[in-house]
Amino acid sequence: MITVQKSLFENQTAIIQMISSGMPLKKILTFLMDSIENSGDSFGWHGAIMLYNPLLNQLGETVSSSLPINFINSIEPVEVSPYGGACGTAAFLKQPVTVTDIESNPLCEKDRHTAIVHGLRACFSIPVLSSKKELVGIIALYSREVGKPNEEILNAVDFYSKLVSLAIEISNSSTNRSFQYSFEGNKCLNGSNEKVLIELNTALESEEFEVYYQPYFGVNEQLLGVEALIRWNHPHLGLLSPASFLSIAEETGFILDIEKWVLTQSIYKLKKLHQSGWPDLSLSVNISAQQFDNPRFPEVVAELLERMSFPPRNLTLEVTERFLIHQENIDIVNRLRAIGIKLSIDDFGTSYSSFQYLKDLKVDEIKIDRSFISNLEMDKISQKIVKMIITLGHQLNLNIVAEGVETQKQLQILKKMKCDSIQGFLFSKPIPFDHFKKMSFTK
């Protein structure tokens, strides 16, 4: 007992020194997580600390040295809600949640399969609260055996969670001093786009942006291509999704630089995949309407493709229905298609003039918006709309992609309706490039 207390005391001193020396938060949290795992006879419980992102109301930025990386990637980000599994629920209730058997507990419905595949059978999630009792993260412990943690582990978690909270709180407060504004949804709170623009520029220069890749498949589940989706590894706020910064980028015109960067990066990476056993993989890149204000846009893309020896037929540019149809835009679309590049209408069905687009714009593909797909199982009207889009699209020789497919049942319905391609969490979330090669997709 005395030895246990001594090591707790020594660890506590070491952690406080780490915090006061300004060591990066992730390093401190890794040390803390290792300390929890090695305390007493907590052998068999492996854990992670997930940071809370209040802007997205999600848990992400996971720190763990012992849980399988594929498991972490597939559960992250965790929604803070009663439907967010054991971790999301613990964060939502600000109460510990114990799941003694992942296989039978209804809380684990969403991630059960992933956990079982990785041999994880029980889970214990503890919210980490700040001194003001606000959620700052969670500690999640998993065991390969059915059951709950013993007294010794509970004591260790209780002791270390206070240090986890201290480390996060101090890191957040020093962040807030240097970080003058914050994002909320799509808005910059202090209204100063100029500051955001400086931050975005710095982010581009410091390589804080990263392209994630979400695969899409044919109905026989063969991999056809990937969609490039931007992320911002913000030094203080963690991983930001495009929703939190793209509209500011659009307002400031910075979107043009970001998109050029995304195009260059993703073509370069896809070229690498072409050379390493995926020779015909297609790439889809989202493009904002502003690109079409530049009459040289088709030449810019053509030059890029030529420089990288990337076949134009393997590139699809996705525009949303917010894209305005002017004569100049139609010309640019036609010139892009003349180069061999494909055009796709993203989020199809969300605007009132969806079908007008098909009349005026010659495109190759439509992507049926996720809102129709998520209602497909229950809602007969969504079923009829989707069926109609597919039938009409086929008559116009368009490739039809369903976005946001999350369940087997949705997949079966779409197969029956003869939808051509499928994209969604059922197969894969967007993943960093390095993870792509490790996944076993059917070619």
Closest CA to 344 of 260, 252, 268, 420: 420
CA angle centred on 184, ends 182 and 189, rounded to 5° = 55
Beta bridge partners of 135: 129
Among 115, 126, 141, 230, binds ligand C2E (CB under 6 A): 230
Angle between helices 297-307 and 255-275 (to 10 degrees): 30
Q: Which residues bind Mg ion (CB under 5 A)?
A: 286, 318, 346-347, 403
Q: Does 346 bind ligand C2E (CB under 6 A)?
A: yes
Which segment (153-161, 326-334, 421-429, 435-443) binds ligand C2E by CB under 6 A? Answer: 421-429
Least distance from ligand C2E to the Cβ atom of residue 431, Å: 10
288 binds, among ligand C2E, Mg ion, none (CB under 5 to 8 A by kind): ligand C2E
- Asked whether the beta carbons of 20 and 38 are under 8 A apart, the reply is no
Q: Does 111 bind ligand C2E (CB under 6 A)?
A: no
Among 246, 302, 332, 343, binds ligand C2E (CB under 6 A): 246
Burial of 385 (0-12, 13-18, 19+ CB in 10 A): middle
Segment 192 to 221, residues that bind ligand C2E, using CB under 6 A: 214
* Amino acid symbol at 416: K
Least distance from ligand C2E to the Cβ atom of residue 396, Å: 21
- Asked whether the beta carbons of 56 and 25 are under 8 A apart, the reply is no
Q: Pattern 5-34, binding to ligand C2E, x per CB under 6 A?
A: ------------------------------
Tokens representing 164 are 């986890």
Of how many residues is the chain composed? 443
Segment 352 to 411, residues that bind ligand C2E, using CB under 6 A: 370, 403-406
Q: Does 268 bind ligand C2E (CB under 6 A)?
A: no
Segment 280 to 319, residues that bind ligand C2E, using CB under 6 A: 286-288, 318
Q: Does 267 bind ligand C2E (CB under 6 A)?
A: no
Other CB atoms within 10 Å distance of the CB of residue 146: 13
Tokens representing 227 are 């969609």
> Distance between the two ends of the chain, CA-based, in angstroms?
57
- Toward ligand C2E, which CB reaches closer, 64 or 286? 286
- Toward ligand C2E, which CB reaches closer, 37 or 347? 347
* Amino acid symbol at 193: N
Tokens representing 29 are 């949290």
- Asked whether the beta carbons of 86 and 111 are under 8 A apart, the reply is no
Tokens representing 294 are 């530049």
H runs (alpha helix) in 179-230: 193-205
Which segment (143-151, 162-170, 237-245, 414-422) binds ligand C2E by CB under 6 A? Answer: 237-245
Least distance from Mg ion to the Cβ atom of residue 376, Å: 16
Least distance from Mg ion to the Cβ atom of residue 347, Å: 4
316 binds, among Mg ion, ligand C2E, none (CB under 5 to 8 A by kind): none
Residues that bind ligand C2E (CB under 6 A): 214, 229-230, 241-243, 246, 259, 262, 286-288, 318, 346-347, 370, 403-406, 423-425, 430
